[in-house]
Structure 1
Amino acid sequence: MDAQTLIARRIALELKDGMLVNLGIGIPTLVAGYVPAGINVFFQSENGLIGTGPIPEGALVQARLTDAGGRPVTAIPGACTFDSSISFGLIRGGHVDMTVLGGMQVDAQGLLANWMIPGKMVPGMGGAMDLVTGARRVVVAMQHTAKGKAKIVERCDLPLTSARPVDLVVTELAVIAQQGGRLRLIETAPGVSVEQVLAATEAKLDVAAGVTTMAIS
């Protein structure tokens, strides 16, 4: 199983029946494909859609039906559309139960940097600032390292997305919870040891008693 699929499948286990969930660009979009059986979740997109379905194939692609990143999506029966001001009102009003966002860095306090690399052209902030600040729960989906360099760092050297820490970080190596302004290792991926996770992480992690193996939906 590739890293992105493993991350998405693990995060899907965080979904609860009836949730309103926002999925960010990249790995987070894959989560919609692994919703556990018997769970009904409403996926929300910043550009004004509740009821996002799986990524369409072939003739099912419609140019005017996209997610916030401009990629084609499907709409499940009962989906509704509205303008982006209402969409951001839902986010800022605290009505989104969980958001899943990509990350460039997460620091030792759980602060996220995911929108800008100085000197490089990137898509920009989008709704990330609003989502990290307004969603009830924030989950980061990202690979543990980039080009051999740790992405879970002592202190972010990229611009922060929000002053609010995230709640959970899921990588291909581990599940790490933010508790009281500190990061705690609670699960390791199948075949990965605690020592391997710590060696790939710049930030100091608390290690939970009885770290378990990551479950996969």
Structure 2
Amino acid sequence: MSAYDSTADSVPSPQGGAGHKESEFRVDSGDDAIAEFVDTVNDLGVDGRWLVQGLTDFLRRQKRGGGPGMTAEERKFVVESGSMTEAELVDSEKRVAKGSLEKSAAELWLGTYQETWSASTVAHFMGWTEDEVLAAAEGQRIYGVPVRDRLRFPRWQFSLGSPGRLIPHLETVLPVLTEHWDWISISAFMSVRQRSLVAEGRKTPRSWLRDGGDPAAISEIIEGDKYW
């Protein structure tokens, strides 16, 4: 029996570390912002508890190490190089202190999560049982991403017009992809047009494979760790 629950098309989750510092930015359970967040999640009509648990996991992974900021020499270099004015640097530091980087990371995670399916949706699309979906994921015949106790399946790997309703050579490229990147990076890569994948214009890795391109070209990009 699989360790994953295949039910429901709900929402994803984040992770992080333990402990926290006292801060002017801290919130507590009675804060209006928390109440608004709870109301918003409940209005989504999904498994809100699972979604919040997932987001919590993700945000824990964003936990800061608490190291020092820029040195005086580094600040001087940034300003004198013309990259930022002193005022712009101060404003940037304020936004970072408030959590702008974590907010951007959470937005990216949630946006990527929206482009995934539950096991039940995949089963319906593929004409499989949910057990067959989970077995295919375990055998790396399809790509499943663990979010808490469930697997989610990025949509880029599915193709209605392809044999078996999967992009060709998926089993060939999956081991290479998963060895090098996490699921968010993989999803981004598969949807970005590549300079080296050209056939009547630049193609994304997904469209390259879907349209019959050689999977070796994908592996070359990944193995070379190029700036795709």
TM-score range (shorter-chain normalised) is under 0.3
Query: What TM-score, normalized to structure 2?
Result: 0.20
Higher helix share: 2
Query: What TM-score, normalized to structure 1?
Result: 0.21
Which entry has the higher C-alpha Rg, 1 or 2? 2
Higher strand share: 1
